[in-house]
Structure 1
Amino acid sequence: MEQQVIEAVQGQEILARPANQLLNDFGAGRASPGSGSAAALLGLLASKMIITVCDISLRKDECSQSHREFSFISEKVTSEIEPRLKNLFEKDAKDFEKVVSLRVSRDKSTDTNEKSKYARESLDLLQVATDYTFEVAETSLSLMEYGVTMFEHGWHAIRGDSGVAISAAMSGVMSSIFIINLNLKTLKRRKYSKDNLERVQRLHSRLEELQTKAFSCVTHISAESLESIQLELGE
């Protein structure tokens, strides 16, 4: 009976685990879930916050001019982005665990041919995992843009939610860029690494552009807060 329970847990999707268990899994020092899944999780958090802001703003008459845009964003995130990020989370967790397992087998083997085989297979799978991370980064850039839109045009009282969406998405992009660069360094002798250098540089450039917009949102709300407090003190 106990073995059946263990097998059921092992076959369960990682995102189906309770929140505390999932957080403990990230802090357990194991290969899975790892940094790639963590980056996808940041994107998922941004997705949920964007959906929340869209849904509430769609119920507010003062936001009626942007309702069509909110409906589009909500549908895009709900039907496409969120499911894909969940899929990437699970794929990265499973495949990177295999990468680590292959590395362990490589290091333990005393046969030269066998070592080469394990090394080649681990690098092949690392390329696949890196593609996942590229997709997480590109998706998170879209979420940053949506977050800025919701901050600027969504219901004013929940701009804190929009701010969290922007911040989580930005963290998802930055985390992905860290991971990608590290993987490309590991894959330095492969054509894949050279072919994707420009791609990661484009991600970095786009992130810098969106960071400027994100920081302008912070500056805007800070100025509002300061003005409000000064008016209150002056009364």
Structure 2
Amino acid sequence: MDTKLLDISTEELLRKFGAGNHKPGSGSAAAFQGMISAKLLVTVISLTNEEKRRPNYAGCLPKLLDMNAAIEDRIFPELTKLFCEDAVQFDKTIKSRQARDLEKNPVKKARLARQALGDLKIAVEIPLSIASLSVELAQIAGFVFDNAFKTARGDSQVALSGAVAALGGCLSIVQLNLLSFGSDEYDWIENARSQSSQLKSHFGELSLIAASKIEALESEVDKKAHLYKDVNMLLKQSKSNKKMSNADVENYATQLQRLVWKHRDKIWSKNAPTNPLQILIPDVLFKKVLGYDYLYSNELGLNGNQTEMSEVAGIIDQQKKLVLISNDFSPQVMAFTAAHELGHAILHNQSVLHRDIPVDGGESKGRRNPQELQADKFASYFLMPRKQINEIFQTFFLTDKFVIDESNAFNLIQGSPSQLKAECRSLRGLSRKLAKAEYFAGITFKSLADVFNVSVEAMAIRLEELGLVEY
């Protein structure tokens, strides 16, 4: 076997394929396509089997590993052998034909013609073998595309398409070479045609499968395009509003929530949210909706002036599509800061890196510029949506507006209205009590502040904004 072709550089091998000679020829080219497909599939299966991905692919990994073993132990070595054999065998066939054509003696010429046909038979059997292995590779590639590492589906599809192309090429080679045989080889021709017919059936099926994989990816792109179109429309609307009211800010937050809910199956490819509260996750929206890198850090530095310095809780760089959130604060502060940065990303055009001090949605300390106030409002509206707050408040407290009366006082503190007023002392005090309440009318529940992962103060303010509390 001539193995020298596999020892030369890729550049030299390609030069030989393009030199117009018969060695290496089309059969070797088909085998080489199969070899490339085999290596691509081994790569994808290897990526799938990495420790960090195994849990996600545990159900299909055993079958994938069996396929990998079949490729490495049998299919690839056989294709390598056939790649070399085809170059050698077709070279023999060509030389036999050349000798036949040069021979003047009729008897010797006839003998050389028979020898050339004998060599050509082997040159037919080799592409049939390559085609059979290509069918196996294409079938494996279809399974790998559907079940292995999703991000590597480009490799899987190239492997599938390459194997199908190798199969189609081999079928053409076989049919072309069969034209050289006469009626005296009828039985052999029919056997080759029968094999070719079965392989052609596979070719048709696998071509459809290859096309379906492209269509599947196109469908995913189409779905994302619809998501991106909705996001783009929202950003154009919000960022062009130069006189933004609180009602406008709430409207933009609500629009974002609605489009995320609408496209949740695409944003969350697995375990899509079934409850609207489950989409109120700024980091997911930054990464999968807005295309930002989102990272946590405990080294964001300080911000302020000579008289007052505060530790930075969040950073957004809209130019570099980067958000950093400090993990040195409580979960509530981190969540509100992340939603605050989301507000900047949706509402504002900031050309430079922007640093934010820690906020939890409570009353602002000191003066804050309009953009910061808008981002605060956005965070509040995003984390505490009007509809969900109203629904859960009514479920917990059995009313759409809490007033201090005999029934509510007893259900909340097992006391009188005067006792409840004395405990709360103001509207804000009552709002705080309701925001952190975990019991009402004999039923225990998770507090509103905990349900929405915000501070008690932020929830108290939101209850007042929605007119749910009267003192």
Band of TM-score, shorter chain: over 0.9
Alignment of 1:30 with 2:26, yes or no, is: no
Instruction: Identify which of 41, 53, 57 aligns with 2:44.
Output: 53
* Structure-2 residue corresponding to 1:69: 63
* Structure-2 residue corresponding to 1:156: 150
* Structure-2 residue corresponding to 1:7: none
Q: 1:194 offset after TM fit, Å?
A: 2.4
Normalised by the size of structure 1, how large is the TM-score? 0.93
* Structure-1 residue corresponding to 2:30: 39
Give deviations 1:146-171, integer Å, cap 9, x for gaps.
00000000111110000000010000
Give deviations 1:51-100, integer Å, cap 9, x for gaps.
00110011112112111011101110001000000000100100100100
* Structure-2 residue corresponding to 1:184: 178
Matched residue type, 1:55: S
Matched residue type, 2:37: A
Q: 1:12 offset after TM fit, Å?
A: 4.9
Q: 1:188 offset after TM fit, Å?
A: 3.7
Identity %: 27
Instruction: Identify which of 164, 169, 174 aligns with 1:175.
Output: 169
Alignment of 1:214 with 2:205, yes or no, is: no
Matched residue type, 1:206: H
Normalised by the size of structure 2, how large is the TM-score? 0.47
* Structure-1 residue corresponding to 2:98: 104
Q: Which runs of 5+ in 1 are unaligned?
A: 1-10
* Structure-1 residue corresponding to 2:84: 90
Alignment of 1:13 with 2:9, yes or no, is: no
Between 1:112-121 and 1:204-213, the stretch displaced more is 204-213
Q: Could you tell me how far apart the structure 1 residues matched to 2:33 and 2:27 are?
A: 10
Relative distance call for 1:174 and 1:99 in structure 2 (3 A) is same
Is the CA contact (8 Å cut-off) linking 2:171 and 2:200 kept in structure 1? yes
Alignment of 1:197 with 2:193, yes or no, is: yes
Q: 1:113 offset after TM fit, Å?
A: 1.0
Q: Could you tell me how far apart the structure 1 residues matched to 2:120 and 2:26 are?
A: 13
Q: Look up the SS of the partner of 1:65 in the other structure.
A: coil
Instruction: Identify which of 207, 219, 230 aligns with 2:226.
Output: 230
Matched residue type, 1:211: S
* Structure-1 residue corresponding to 2:376: none
Q: 1:134 offset after TM fit, Å?
A: 0.3
Q: Could you tell me how far apart the structure 1 residues matched to 2:113 and 2:72 are?
A: 39
The 4+ residue runs of structure 1 with deviation greater than 2 A are none
Q: Look up the SS of the partner of 1:30 in the other structure.
A: coil
Q: Could you tell me how far apart the structure 1 residues matched to 2:182 and 2:131 are?
A: 21
Q: Which runs of 5+ in 2 are unaligned?
A: 232-471
Task: State the Cα RMSD in Å.
Answer: 1.3
* Higher relative contact order (CA closer than 8 Å, sequence separation 6+): 1
Matched residue type, 1:168: G
Matched residue type, 2:41: I
Q: Could you tell me how far apart the structure 2 residues matched to 1:157 and 1:113 are?
A: 64
Alignment of 1:144 with 2:144, yes or no, is: no
Is the CA contact (8 Å cut-off) linking 1:141 and 1:173 kept in structure 2? yes
Q: Look up the SS of the partner of 2:179 in the other structure.
A: helix
Q: Could you tell me how far apart the structure 1 residues matched to 2:3 and 2:198 are?
A: 36
Between 1:36-45 and 1:207-216, the stretch displaced more is 207-216
Give deviations 1:190-230, integer Å, cap 9, x for gaps.
23212221221111111111222222111111000111122
* Structure-1 residue corresponding to 2:427: none
Give deviations 1:86-126, integer Å, cap 9, x for gaps.
00010010010010011111111100111111111111011
Instruction: Identify which of 104, 109, 112 aligns with 1:115.
Output: 109
Give deviations 1:114-146, integer Å, cap 9, x for gaps.
111111111101101111110100110110000
Matched residue type, 2:75: I
Matched residue type, 1:213: I
Q: Could you tell me how far apart the structure 2 residues matched to 1:117 and 1:188 are?
A: 15
Matched residue type, 2:106: T
Is the CA contact (8 Å cut-off) linking 2:3 and 2:84 kept in structure 1? no
Q: Could you tell me how far apart the structure 1 residues matched to 2:193 and 2:61 are?
A: 39
Is the CA contact (8 Å cut-off) linking 1:37 and 1:89 kept in structure 2? yes
Number of aligned residue pairs? 226
Matched residue type, 2:173: I
Relative distance call for 1:12 and 1:156 in structure 2 (3 A) is closer
Higher strand share: 2
Larger-gyration structure (1/2): 2
Q: Could you tell me how far apart the structure 1 residues matched to 2:10 and 2:191 are?
A: 38
Higher helix share: 1
